[in-house]
Amino acid sequence: MKKIQLDEFINFKFLSAIKYSPDGKYACFVVSQANVEDNNYSSNLWLYNIHDNSYFQLTASNKESNFIWMEDSQHILFTGLRDSKNKDKKEKGEEFTQFYKISVNGGEAQKAFKIPYNVKEIKQLDDNKYIFKCLFNPFNKDITKLSETDKKEELKRRKEEKDYEILEEIPFWGNGLGFTNKNRHTLCIYSLDTGNVQVLTDKELNVEGFELNKEKTKVVFIGNSFTDKMEIQNTIYISDLATAKIEQVTPIEKFRYNNVYFLTESQLICIGNNMKKYGINQNGKFYLININSKERKCITPDFDYAARNSVGTDSRLGSGGQMKIDGEYLYFLTTEKNSAFLNKIDINGTIEKVISQKGSVDDFAVIDGDVLFIAFRGMKLQEIYKLEDNKEIQLTKFNERLIQERKVAALENISVKTDSGVQIDGWVMKPVDFEEGKKYPGILDIHGGPKTVYGEIFFHEMQYWASQGYVVFFCNPRGSDGKGNEFADIRGKYGTIDYDDIMKFTDAVLEKYPFIDKGRIGVTGGSYGGFMTNWIIGHTDRFKAAASQRSISNWISKFCTTDIGYYFVEDQNAGTPWDNQEKLWYHSPLKYADKVKTPTLFIHSEEDYRCWVVEGLQMFTALKYYGVESKLVMFRGENHELSRGGKPKQRIRRLREITDWFNLYL
């Protein structure tokens, strides 16, 4: 059997976006794979036939990932750029989305219609109308209403304006989005017969998500209205599609909604929180809202889990629905301890666990109680499973052979008591060709978030390091998800109790596994893990090498330069640069950079607007100033998702840089 290779992820099949057909006879899903030659990802639609349990590839142009089922259950609608004329128009700055449709029986995809906006999400209303959410700048001229001459002039003007940016609000950019000044997500209706677009929401309202009622006569959506500063709180609205009248359902208050659905014609079910006790990361609770009376009632007062999947891995691509309505139930994911499960809730607030096996449910489809889902199980990569008599049955084998032909390191669980009533869960991976009596170097890997978790699933970079002779160990310290609000709450405590947890966990690992060479230990992590790496090297020299990725070094600069900084920093550190500068500086790794002795590699992406490159540059400059061995590698054209969804060649280079650094010093 072969060892896991540095570029092994290029062989992985990434599964996402599984959806049942309206009649329940088929399920469509996306299969993606890295394409190193073109330095991108190929994505195609696949179809699963419920009747005979077969699955086959439906499209082959390698560019299909956004799709919906049409109401006839015989056709799938998807977006794409398949002809050179449309590609040329896009390159010249014209905004539109081309839709194609393809039969479940296969054959050539046919052009369906083109909408003159950048469509982000679309749903079919009837044979003639679609409702969609698009990225829209109301301050740009609507080129659909211009003559050809005027349209050319407008496109020329937009192209010229690419050479400079005008900023008038915060956030002024977004990770993976670029500059976003005045951009809003807007709800619109498109009519096939006329080609007309009806804009439903006004120019200051940013639509975060929308859902239709069963009859498709009403739409409910979450919106955030702002001019100069976007606030974290939002509001629920309903629109009667016959009149296009928008009604505000919930008051404008400090309350954040994440999802909302029609559970019945008169009742909405949503999840949200008031952020009062635990801030913006507070776990939401489920509420019923009476559409007529506007009364909001909490139906899960004791619910204390994140209603999402926060189990980390670098071996998934694409996203899926975290919640879906089926009949009288809302199905949703939760992160509990170190796994992501599927649950359902009814109108009374009764929650039932639908899938309870450890691992990670990444996406699911449900119709009439029948469930298909994409999941990580054990050390296997993603596959599709079905639930039958409460038993999981694996349906696909996209990645089965690959893993069977590789040496995969097992995870050994180790739990450590770090404080009174505090138990930290962690794991150790021995080198794949482990020999008794031999000493091995080790790598401590720290997750991002901080409100995410490591779980017992496949993680490529860790498996690669284990294949290269490293012991890899990692844990979920306080601040992590899965154990409720109190455990996750480290506001105002960054670098204190979480640092203590990680160091005590490291002590326990070294004591239990004496084959780890204490003189050859490295530390790495990204995002919050990058912050903690920066913090660690300023507070101890026990690690002989460090690799800090997409990190935070200075809470003051992060506040003023990043997409979420102006509300995240204040919430997480109980201060702003003006009312509590000393506290922000106290929790900033840069404050302690003059104490660093550890050779450190910094990895940053130029377009990472979540943890901008200036964070790494400050630490790098400080270490060089004080004569510490250090290097910074910046990736152009990449953002915060470099390690998970970055271009294949850049992902390979990133992992090689980190591994070479550890090889050099460990």
Q: Which residues are catalytic?
A: 527, 640
C-alpha count within 13 angstroms, C-beta hemisphere, residue 342: 31
Containing H/E element for 403? helix 400-404
Cβ atoms of 600 and 546 closer than 8 Å: yes
CA distance 657 to 663: 10
Rounded alpha-carbon distances, angstroms, from residue 130 to 118, 127, 511, 632: 14, 8, 62, 48
- The DSSP annotation for 505-564 comes to HHHHHHHH-TTEEEEEEEEEEETHHHHHHHHHHTT----SEEEEES----HHHHHHHSSS
CA distance 203 to 226: 10
CA distance 416 to 431: 22
CA distance 121 to 187: 10
| Nearest-10 Cα torsion for 33, 34, 35, 40 | 110
CA distance 204 to 227: 6
CA distance 242 to 2: 62
Nearest-CA neighbor of 43 among 52, 31, 54, 34?
31
Return the amino acid letter for 272.
Answer: G
Geometric angle at alpha carbon 577, from 575 and 578, rounded to 5°: 90
C-alpha count within 13 angstroms, C-beta hemisphere, residue 650: 23
Cβ atoms of 99 and 113 closer than 8 Å: yes
Helix then strand then coil, in percent of the chain rounded to 5, is 20, 40, 40
Nearest-CA neighbor of 189 among 119, 267, 268?
119
Q: What is the largest CA-CA distance in the chain?
A: 79
Residue 27: CB atoms within 10 Å: 23
| Nearest-10 Cα torsion for 623, 628, 661, 496 | -60
Dihedral of CA 462/467/470/472: which sign? positive
CA distance 496 to 586: 11
Name, in order, each residue with C-beta under 8 angstroms of 601's C-beta and a sequence gap of 6 or more.
Answer: 545, 546, 547, 548, 630, 631, 632, 633, 657, 658, 661
Whether the bond between 301 and the residue before it is cis, its omega within 30 degrees of 0, is no
DSSP code, position 310: -
Helix (H, G, I), strand (E, B) or coil at 337: coil
Cβ atoms of 197 and 117 closer than 8 Å: yes
